[in-house]
Structure 1
């Protein structure tokens, strides 16, 4: 089973748009950042992708912007896997501000397994299916009282 994965960041000036809050595109970039950090923690980073000759690529994102984040805000980027099949894994995200437990952003991504050389769909190897297990039912990703401090920046 995989678990909830948290990455703590601080909003920097380059994340801010003309309206004075985090730009929408930055949140999508953060989805990629936290997913990458999570798979590396699971032992399937770029090095392993290249060795195995297949990788996961994003095919669909759904996002919901809920509250604005401002420069200097500390934010927890939370992610977890919620489903898997032979070709796809499904990842959820909830980004929140710990000081007030405000959920700023939620989203999900469908990831497809591809053969790197051809870009064609490929069934996941056992290495992938073992690492990409969905979150256990006993874990509650909406419980912001728990925090994985091992993932701090």
Structure 2
């Protein structure tokens, strides 16, 4: 079964632009984290959000094309697989006009119990929300 893709759209703000006049690489990383959080919050209720939290284990990011102020972009994310306490999330940042992939990322996440910050096994209840 192919995982559901979650999307978010935005126009690149001036605050994202660096001295080279394109989006700074740190901003892309922030967007990768932001869309993951938006996806999680869109699929879970307050009870689940108050029980669990995700932490990043690692990010792998490829920068394909620069992005500039005021460009319209689409952020896409999906969970590809999970096992035990870990999950792998993919993100693409796409120029909405040209459909060029600007950035692609793969992030490994670990699910924790929010109160104890101890690893929590990903339950069927959680995994099925993202299929």
TM normalised by structure 1 equals 0.78
In the alignment, structure 1 segments of 5+ residues that lack a partner are: 134-153
1:17 equivalent in structure 2: 18
Query: Can you list the C-alpha shifts for 1:13-50, whole angstroms capped at 9, x where unaligned?
Result: 00000110000000000011111111122125x66321
Question: 2:47, 2:19 → 1: CA distance?
Answer: 38
From 102, 110, 113, give the equivalent of 2:111: 113
Alpha-carbon distance, 1:74 to partner: 0.2
Query: Aligned partners of 2:43, 2:114: CA distance in 1, in Å?
Result: 20
Name the count of aligned residue pairs.
Answer: 130
Cα shift at 1:127: 2.6
- RMSD between superposed Cα atoms in Å: 1.7
The answer to whether the 8 A contact 1:89-1:132 is kept is: no
2:69 maps to 1:71 = yes
Give the TM-score of the pair, scaled to structure 2. 0.90
Q: Which residue of 2 aligns with 1:48?
A: 48
Q: Which segments of 5 or more consecutive residues in structure 2 lack a partner in the other structure?
A: none
